[in-house]
Amino acid sequence: MKFPIATIAALLLSPAIALAQDAQAGAALYDQHCAVCHGADGRGKGPLAAALILQPPSLRDLSERHDGFPTRRVVMRIDGSDPLVSHGSPMPVYGEFFAGDDTILKTESGQPVMTSRAIVDLVAYLRGIQE
Segment 47-81, tens digit of pLDDT: 998 888 878 899 999 999 999 999 999 998 888 88
How confident is residue 17, by pLDDT bands cut at 50, 70 and 90?
very low
Cβ density class 84-118: b for 16+ within 10 Å, e for less: eebeeeebeebeeebeeeebebbbeeeeebebbbb
129 or 10, higher pLDDT: 129
Range of the domain at 20: 5-128
Mean pLDDT across 2-7: 52
Contact of 112 with 100, CB cutoff 8 Å: no
The one-letter amino acid at 55: Q
Element (H, E) at 127: helix 117-128
Mean pLDDT across 101-112: 88
Report the alpha-carbon distance of residue 101 to residue 126 in Å, rounded. Answer: 20
| pTM for this prediction | 0.78
Q: Range with the lowest mean pLDDT among 108-112, 120-124, 126-130?
A: 108-112
The CATH number covering residue 19 comes to: 1.10.760.10
The pLDDT assigned to 7 comes to: 46
61 or 8, higher pLDDT: 61
pLDDT at 92 over 50: yes
Q: How many domains does the chain have?
A: 1
